[in-house]
Amino acid sequence: MLGAETPPAKLKVIVTGGHPGDPEYGCGGTVARYTDLGHEVVLLYLNRGEKVCPETAAAASANVRPGEAAAACAILKARPMFAGQCDGHAVVDAAHDEEFRRLIEAERPDVLFTHWPIDGHADHRAISALSYSAWLKLGKRFAFYYYEVSNGEDTLMFLPTDYVDITAVEPRKRAACYAHASQSPDRFYALQSQVTRFRGVESGHAQAEAFIRHAQSPYHALP
């Protein structure tokens, strides 16, 4: 859809995140709204939340996080994908850049969301950089948005351009975040709720998710 001024009627949406749970915390309400409208959504995680890198067969079978991601995606009617990197050891170099571009190209997205690049976690900065590079290399032909997670600890200096009202779907977002039971959801969901309530105050809703739309996105494509 290079150069298109309007998005296709049925969207393919990719939300990239450093770890299992990041797309759900940052965009879970927006994802639920997309899938309720019949759009297709993929949550693409940079790693599987491994404790051991590279992950041994024994460690992989003991790793609960891919299963938590699958449960979260089922709640949001999305599909999980993993980009094959290691938790806490993200690599951004020419080879990984090319590998990630191929992954994105094969999925043919109409919209892509990723972490805002000013972030306390190196894995978040890495997938943000890989996603942006893929968008540039693929000719900026799909809409590109940044999202926020765990503000103050992770995302910083985020000034939204766009908002999505998630009030009606917040219970499903909450359930998807709580599917990541190994990741202290009481603590992190409380923090993320402060963010969505504040974004709601800004945008005139009870709760909202906020985004920064890249100024060169070919079209607007939020639900």
* Pairing state between β 208-213 and 143-147: antiparallel
Both tokens of residue 103? 């992954």
Task: From 20-28, 36-44, 133-141, 208-216, give the range in contact with Zn ion by CB under 5 A.
Answer: 20-28
| Residue pair 23/60 in contact by the 8 Å Cβ criterion | no
Residues numbered 143-182 forming contacts with Zn ion, rule: CB under 5 A: none
Q: Give 19 or 65: the residue with its C-beta nearer to Zn ion.
A: 19
> Which contiguous run of DSSP H or E holds residue 172?
helix 170-178
Q: Confirm or reject binding of residue 87 to Zn ion (CB under 5 A).
A: no
Q: Confirm or reject binding of residue 200 to Zn ion (CB under 5 A).
A: no
DSSP-based three-state secondary structure for 164: strand
Q: Confirm or reject binding of residue 18 to Zn ion (CB under 5 A).
A: yes
Find tokens 């949406």 and name the residue: 13
b (16+ CB within 10 A) / e for 45-68:
bbbbbbeeeebeeeeeeebebbeb
Q: Confirm or reject binding of residue 33 to Zn ion (CB under 5 A).
A: no
Q: Confirm or reject binding of residue 22 to Zn ion (CB under 5 A).
A: yes
Query: What's the min distance (Å) between Cβ of 46 and Zn ion?
Result: 9
Task: From 12-20, 80-88, 106-114, 214-222, give the range in contact with Zn ion by CB under 5 A.
Answer: 12-20
Binding site for Zn ion (CB under 5 A): 18-19, 22
